Amino acid sequence: MALKRFGVSVPEDLLEEFDQLVIEKGYIGRSEAIRDAMRVYLSESQWEKGADMIMACLNIVYSHKPKTMADLIKIQHTSDAHVISTVHVHMSQSHCLEVITLKGSKESVTKLANKVSGISGIEYAKLFTFALPDDAEMNHSHHH
């Protein structure tokens, strides 16, 4: 991929704050931090536009209770969004962390996330969404 150089004018205080973040996050320089920020902005824009197919991760923390877990499984199995995978972590005797990887339309992913958030016993729910570039092959079989 060819890189293209361009100039940007920003207020000095904004640049100082950005440079501090570049250091804190361990970026080699501003360029990589700006590329990351652009990717996030473009992905969020795709999400807002309702791209045909988006990916998401729903991170939840909940009380380890049979009813909560049964409701969670039922919602996942009846959703229009495709549940690609789940990772379940026992954080303590009473709490679990679950990461649910999703693929679907904005509407189906949002609907699933809202239903999960409303389950009694769910204490934290955070949806991380992203859209892949138009040329990304979504059904690609990845080989290592």
Q: What is the pLDDT of residues 34-77, one digit of tens each?
A: 998 888 888 777 777 766 778 899 999 999 899 999 999 999 99
For residue 98, the tally of other CB atoms under 10 A from its CB is: 19
Q: How far apart are CA 120 and CA 63, in angstroms?
A: 9
For residue 64, the tally of other CB atoms under 10 A from its CB is: 14
* Claim: this prediction has a pTM higher than 0.75: no
Q: What is the pLDDT of residues 79-105, one digit of tens each?
A: 999 999 999 999 999 999 999 999 998
Question: What does CATH list as the number for 54-130?
Answer: 3.30.70.1150
Q: How far apart are CA 83 and CA 50, in angstroms?
A: 19
Pairing of strands 95-104, 122-130: unpaired
- Domain ranges, ordered by start, for the chain: 12-49, 54-130
CA dihedral 47, 113, 142, 53 (to 10 degrees): -40
